[in-house]
Amino acid sequence: MGYKMVRGGDAMTASTLLPAPRVKRRTEDAGRVVVAGLSKSFGAVKAVDQLSFTVNPGTVTGFLGPNGAGKTTTLRMLLGLVTPDAGSATISGHEYAALPRPNDEVGAALEATGFHPARSGRNHLRVYCTINGYPQRRADEVLAMVGLSDAGRRPVGGYSLGMRQRLALATALLGNPWVLVLDEPANGLDPEGIVWMRRLLRQLADQGRTILVSSHILTEVQQLVDDVVIINKGRLVRQGALAELAARNAEVSVRTPQAEQLHAALAGAGFDKVRIERTGPDTLTVTGMPAARVGELAFTAGVRLHELTPARGDLEQIFFTLTSSANGGEPA
């Protein structure tokens, strides 16, 4: 491909080309995404089932779930493209269709396929500049931001999937919106592209924007997101801070000659949802309690520890457990 990529570290970064949104008269709801009791069926299939969650401004929220969990349908209902059977979805306190100037408030990249193949990427953007009354040069600005300046004049029909993803993101950024809704934006990006996108989204979130980004791979976004909303089979499985999810579900393996005593000390500490498993004559696995707390409790109880190991890289496992078919929606 003969186009030059502009990476996040280069001169053209989000902060230089995309200033923080103009301060408008902000209400309490500004930038907040509220999904309440949303349901949608396609024929006999319940795509989204009584789904409720909230996304707060200034955070990057990962909207996670396996393929077919209902993520895209939820986002399309949020954006007024699909009519819900029940429930509501609002952005900054309004349903999407009631936003006075929707592209100024919300930028969305829903798919990397929504382009006329004969139209150039630049012209695609310029059309939406015309419709929204933005200056035409805005198209070139966002093209530069996503690293498509050189490919901009070529027909989209010749773009790779990664380039289409960038163009979709550029379209979303056109109105310099407060809220960004991105459906699987990392699909088709190479590893470098994923790093670039992470940086860009982090910069945008640091400016106080709300970013809702869906993915079916937790590890793809775990370095990016602050909060997670996890769904499975159209129902909410878990919402909260990623760090909390990791801590609550972290496994700590402990080796001690006084396994019985430690078991009793941990069980008596009054923690909810702590699971203690005897995995050998002198080993325990503790789930739902940080390693430091296990160490403190052992010290207080006078239990000698030979090993205290927080399990690493287990988020994917947590995600898998939460969204496995047996887990219809009840938090683990």
Interface pick for another protein out of 7, 46, 93, 119 (rule CB under 8 A):
119
Q: Whose Cβ is closer to another protein: residue 46's or residue 293's?
A: 46
Cβ partners under 8 Å of residue 313, min gap 6: none
Give the integer Cα–Cα distance in Å for 252 and 242. Answer: 18
Name the minimum Å distance from CB 161 to another protein: 14
Residue 171 interacting with another protein (CB under 8 A):
yes
Q: Whose Cβ is closer to another protein: residue 2's or residue 133's?
A: 133
Residue 176 interacting with another protein (CB under 8 A):
no
Q: Which of 110, 109, 106, 111 is nearest to 33 (CA)?
A: 106
Q: Is the dihedral of CA 314, 319, 324, 326 positive or negative?
A: positive
Cβ-contact 280, 319 below 8 angstroms: no
Residue 48 interacting with another protein (CB under 8 A):
no
Name the minimum Å distance from CB 77 to another protein: 9
Q: Cα-flanking dihedrals φ and ψ of residue 242, to 5°?
A: -60, -40
Q: What's the Cα-to-Cα distance from 58 to each of 159, 183, 255, rounded to whole Å?
A: 32, 18, 42
Amino acid at 2: G
Q: Whose Cβ is closer to another protein: residue 95's or residue 150's?
A: 95
Interface pick for another protein out of 69, 89, 110, 254 (rule CB under 8 A):
110
Residue 115 interacting with another protein (CB under 8 A):
yes
Residue 253 interacting with another protein (CB under 8 A):
no
Interface pick for another protein out of 2, 9, 43, 133 (rule CB under 8 A):
133
Amino acid at 251: E
Cβ partners under 8 Å of residue 43, min gap 6: none
Residue 126 interacting with another protein (CB under 8 A):
yes
Residue 135 interacting with another protein (CB under 8 A):
no
Name the minimum Å distance from CB 110 to another protein: 6
Give the integer Cα–Cα distance in Å for 195 and 183. Answer: 17
Phi-psi region of 86 (alpha: psi -120 to 50; beta: other; left: phi over 0): beta
Cβ-contact 149, 140 below 8 angstroms: yes
Give the integer Cα–Cα distance in Å for 29 and 48. Answer: 24
Residue 300 interacting with another protein (CB under 8 A):
no
Residue 120 interacting with another protein (CB under 8 A):
yes
Tell me, residue by residue from 68 to 87, as one string, x for binding to another protein by CB under 8 A and - for no binding: ----xx--x--xxxxx----
Name the minimum Å distance from CB 234 to another protein: 14
Residue 187 interacting with another protein (CB under 8 A):
no
Name the minimum Å distance from CB 183 to another protein: 10
Residue 235 interacting with another protein (CB under 8 A):
no
Looking up tokens 């909060």 gives: 227
Find the binding residues for another protein in span 85-104 (CB under 8 A). Answer: 96-97, 99, 102-103
Q: What's the Cα-to-Cα distance from 140 to each of 4, 69, 166, 270, rounded to whole Å?
A: 14, 36, 13, 59
Residue 195 interacting with another protein (CB under 8 A):
no
Interface pick for another protein out of 27, 54, 56, 130 (rule CB under 8 A):
130
Binding site for another protein (CB under 8 A): 72-73, 76, 79-83, 96-97, 99, 102-103, 106, 108, 110-111, 113-120, 123-124, 126-128, 130-133, 171
